Amino acid sequence: MHFPSSLNSKLPNVGTTIFTVMSALAKEHNAINLSQGFPDFNPYPVLVEEVEKAMKGNFNQYAPMAGYLPLRERIAEKAEALYGTNVDADLEITITAGGTPAIFTAILSVIREDDEVILFAPAYDSYAPAVELTGGKAIFYDLESPDYKVDWQKVKRLINQRTKMIIINTPHNPSGTTLKSVDMAELEKLTKGSDIIIISDEVYEHIVFDEAKHESVLSYPKLAERSFVIGSFGKTYHTTGWKVGYCIAPKNLMNEFRKVHQFNVFSVNSIAQVAFAEILKRKELYLELNSFYQQKRDYFRRAIQSSRFNLMKCEGTYFQLVSYSKISDERDLEFAKRMTREKGVAAIPVSVFYRHNVDNSVIRFCFAKEEDTLKRAAEKISLM
């Protein structure tokens, strides 16, 4: 097959994602994979039963473009119960093929050439490429290790007449930090009187620790009226491979979102949608997720406490950052690769989440694993 010699990449600085690289390296060396963010255990048996019921119940054809209405109604009920917001299930919720496509669709629906989008780095790696594919420009605010806190006065200085969007992520991947009510107040103040749109990536909304409250933009009417809010069933129900998420947005934004969605994905797995609509009735399953993952976080932290890794704060998500500065002065990517080859445990170097590869000698472990997996991994990395 012949390709035009003049073909220019639309993403010239993008290669294979670090998640693919480290997972492949883990497989090559038969290492325990604590790099890519997915559980190594099965979803709830009752959810699997609901999938079987849906399949046998003739829900095997296209779902409506916006999503199975009973599922959207359950999401609206949850948003009202948890965040006190009234969401129109028919016009303000769309089911998507995972959280990442929801983010991509939201960006594509409103960002034009030369628009600027403020991102907080370390940032989930899909944000910037999606912005750049539209012709927009990603403007990075670098969060500083070890606290990864936002100085909103510095953010304010990044805003100009070209600023179209700000993307926030709470609980935050990869740092495990969370935005607080004071952060939401500052963001509201910052965007007041502007046309700035917000994407609030809240896929880890149910994984917040130490009895803290998840601060959703849905709880803040002045923010909600300008926001796309992204959710994920994969994170909540241990089904990352099913690729089902959703977007909540006010009618005017959702109207634009659906214009893109209908030509991008159009419709999402019908069977999974029907199953999730049923499982959402069991509120205890998502309400207990905080304690479920806090037990895993605490177990993993105790297991590596005596190692030479320095444990960093983990307020949410199922990721634990550690500093290896007492172990090696290697760059984080090389350290992560060597640990995979020599000790048989794979992790993600945090520098890859920065545009300019800021290296603070920090790596990320995923603790969404069986206790035995975490135990074996801890025994190996404690030898570093």
Kindly indicate the confidence band of residue 112, based on its pLDDT and cuts at 50, 70 and 90. very high
d(CA 81, CA 90): 18
Q: Is residue 11 part of a domain?
A: no
| Whether residues 71 and 203 fall in one domain | yes
Residue 1 has pLDDT above 60, yes or no: no
Per-residue pLDDT, averaged over 196-215, amounts to: 98
**Which distant-in-sequence residues (6+ apart) come within 8 Å of 287 by Cβ?**
206
Query: At 191, which amino acid appears?
Result: T
Which among 52, 54, 46 has a CA at the least distance from the CA of 71? 54
Boundary residue ending a domain (266, 281, 296): 281
Query: Read out DSSP for 82-94?
Result: HH-----TTTSEE
Q: Could you identify the residue written with the tokens 């797995």?
A: 269
Q: How many domains does the chain have?
A: 2
**What is the token pair recorded at 29?**
């060396």
pLDDT at 3: 56
- Do 132 and 205 belong to one domain? yes
Per-residue pLDDT reduced to its tens digit, 242-285? 999 999 999 999 999 999 999 999 999 999 999 999 999 999 99
Please tell me whether residues 243 and 111 are part of one structural domain: yes
CB distance 342 to 383 below 8 Å: no
Q: Is it the case that residue 142 has pLDDT exceeding 60? A: yes
**Could you tell me the residue range of the domain that residue 300 belongs to?**
18-43+287-381
- Shared domain for 28 and 138, answered yes or no, is no
Query: Average pLDDT, whole number, for the chain?
Result: 96
Q: Domain with 29 in it: what CATH number?
A: 3.90.1150.10
pLDDT band at 357 (very low <50, low <70, confident <90, very high): confident
CATH of the domain at 98: 3.40.640.10
Name 114's Cβ contacts closer than 8 Å, sequence gap at least 6: 135, 136, 137, 162
- Is residue 2's pLDDT more than 70? no
For a pLDDT cut of 70, what percent of the chain falls above it? 98
- Choose one of 239, 258, 281: the last residue of a domain: 281
d(CA 152, CA 356): 21
